[in-house]
Structure 1
């Protein structure tokens, strides 16, 4: 499974969109995956909704609540992914929180994730020092536990990067997720520190919404991650959002490909 993520970064800069599973419905989420794949996405992050998503800004928090209100469950997401895997082999990464995995049972969660074709897992609230209880089980089932580094990580970046799997998620801005007018963080220094410790791709996320910003971030890394801007489209258009998201992904992929 790890090979799918590796291959995604071998064809140039990677564009990685995020959507919240079940917002507005799992049927729409499934169609969004196919549309984003066709539009040029290289990896797709699927949020597993949680009632207290502490790393998220108001846009994705609201999407989590909409998804949960619509009856989205972890088991239903796994069933959706099993269907998706019949039509596409695009790398899929689940992004959620420790409590979601704990409450399901860590080993059972990862065993099920692997069985339906999940490639990676991001746990936004698990620090490096506490990741071992998840990383060992991820390794057992061939799932990459994606490490995150932030501007405040500083001397910890090399330590985190040393045993990172898949790619390193470089958080471009302090605070929660959300779109920003500009990114002032010295992301190139973060990427440099990661690369000194591990020859692994780095993708930058948090705050990217415009093609110009995605292009700028991709110049300094191996890819760009966008969530809130896409979730806003889902919020605005609901079940009719698929063509609008596809067009957005197409523009963003084109922007980072012009390097």
Structure 2
């Protein structure tokens, strides 16, 4: 299976875009995925929507609510991925699922196989209880499904080492503790130190999210040594604004992605505050 962020090069790190499946509606996923594929996005981090996320702010939570109100189910998400994945050239799809809402009650191996068979290129499982984490790692490995692991810039050495050891798709480094979409200053020294550690211990690429919303933010992460950037709430907000205004959310997101990939005069100027 092709490497995540295989097209990155100096000055142009990989780019992942987070979206809730079903916002915009799943019927738009083929056009949405094709647009991301054509515009230099390396990874679509596609979430199976779930309610009440403790780590998401109001923008992402409202998006999940719209998707759930539209009747989106895990099976529908996997079927939608299966329909679009064969036509993609460079875009990888990493499925994000919540343990309690989506996986609990299902054998980890069965879920991993279903995700693999749908054509997903990786799996990020949110909220896995410590008591089943080893079984989760083993099930995903046995299914031959690349794994996305996570840790925080403020995580202790053991958590960082565990994330590095088990990541095979990419390692998602959360830049700051808190909910997505909240404004927080970026601790460049701490983040740079953790990226340096992970680059020397993890075999998978290191992607940084939370607080990434401009080309300047992405350039800063590149300077700190990250392999890729993850853009979440900022893109979700563009979709919400377009839907509220009766405009095309795919075209709105296209414009935003082009801004993120722009090498314009402000691309290397970090913003004072950030919102994922």
Q: TM-score, normalised by structure 1?
A: 0.90
**Maintained 8 Å contact 1:9/1:201:** no
- 2:235 aligned residue: 230
Q: Bigger CA drift: 18-27 or 239-248?
A: 239-248
The list of structure 1 runs, each at least 4 consecutive aligned residues, that deviate by more than 6 angstroms after superposition, is: none
5 Å-filtered alignment, 1:6-155, equals 7-9=6-8, 13-89=13-89, 90-99=91-100, 100-126=102-128, 130-155=132-157
Q: CA deviation at 1:228?
A: 0.4
Distance 1:158 1:127 in 2: 18
Cα distance, 1:223 vs. partner? Answer: 0.9
- CA distance in 2 between counterparts of 1:7 and 1:241 reads 27
Stretches of structure 2 that go unaligned for 5 or more consecutive residues are 269-276
Residue 273 of structure 2 corresponds to: none
RMSD over aligned CA atoms reads 2.3
Per the alignment, do residues 115 and 142 of structure 1 end up closer, same or farther by CA in structure 2, a change over 3 Å counting? same
Alignment partners' CA distance in 2, 1:6 and 1:211: 17
Cα-to-partner distance string for 1:10-46 (whole Å, 9 max, x where unaligned): 7951011111100131012332111111111011110
Cα distance 1:245–1:103, how it changes in 2: closer, same or farther (>3 A)? farther
Q: Is the 8 A contact 1:30 1:84 kept in 2?
A: yes
Please say which of residues 7-16 and 140-149 is displaced more in the overlay: 7-16
- Deviation readout 1:135-177 (Å, 9 max, x if unpaired): 1111122212211110221322134313321221110011011
For residues 231-250 of structure 1, the aligned pairs below 5 Å read 231-238=236-243, 240-250=248-258
8 Å CA contact 2:5, 2:15 repeated in 1 = no
Distance in 2 (CA, whole Å) between partners of 1:179 and 1:222 is 23
Aligned partners of 1:39 and 1:247 also within 8 Å = no
How many angstroms apart in 1 are the aligned matches of 2:240 and 2:195? Answer: 33
Matched, 1:198 2:206: no
**Aligned positions, number:** 257
* CA–CA separation in structure 2 for the residues paired with 1:219 and 1:242: 30
In the superposition, the TM-score normalised over structure 2's length comes to 0.85
Q: Is the 8 A contact 1:55 1:125 kept in 2?
A: no
Contact 2:153 2:176 in 1 (8 A): yes
Counterpart residue number, 1:158:
161
Paired with 1:40 and 1:223, the residues of 2 have a C-alpha distance of: 12
The residue correspondences of 1:162-173 to structure 2 (distance < 5 A) are: 162-173=165-176
Give 1:102 shift.
2.0
Contact 2:154/2:176 (8 A) holds in 1: no
- Alignment partners' CA distance in 1, 2:263 and 2:17: 14
Distance 1:182 1:250, change over 3 A: farther
Q: Distance in 2 between matches of 1:18 and 1:55?
A: 14
Q: Which has the higher contact order (CA 8 A, sep 6+)?
A: 1
